[in-house]
Amino acid sequence: EIVMTQSPATLSVSPGERATLSCRASQSVSSNLAWYQQKPGQAPRLLIYGASTRATGIPARFSGSGSGTEFTLTISSLQSEDFAVYYCQQYNNWPPATFGQGTKVEIK
């Protein structure tokens, strides 16, 4: 089973600033990686798939990069609605699909 490790666990950022979230896979997952956003009391929402393709309706301030074992989600200018928990998920070697433990982006 591939283990996904996200860092940091919590990221404190001021509105308007850039946020950079990391996700590392225990072995290569090629570009088969997705990112999700989860707000309190809500279901996760797909942001990025294929490591860098934005899902339908996702603002351009969200971008994904990386391949193999190292991935990054960047939010270029944080808006108030972006404060949430973000999860990465690999789907290269499945089942099982595996998720990271999440990065909480909080207001600084």
Residues of this chain that interact with another protein (CB under 8 A) are: 1, 32, 34, 36, 42-46, 49-50, 55, 87, 89, 91-92, 94-102
C-alpha 93, offset from chain centre? 18
Q: Which is nearer to another protein, 18 or 39 (CB)?
A: 39
Q: CB 10 → another protein: shortest distance, Å?
A: 13
Q: CB 51 → another protein: shortest distance, Å?
A: 11
Q: Which is nearer to another protein, 42 or 80 (CB)?
A: 42
Residues 6+ apart with CB under 8 A from 89: 4, 33, 34, 35, 36, 97, 98, 99, 100
Q: CB 32 → another protein: shortest distance, Å?
A: 6
Q: Residue 11: how many CB atoms within 10 A of its CB?
A: 19
Q: Which is nearer to another protein, 65 or 77 (CB)?
A: 65
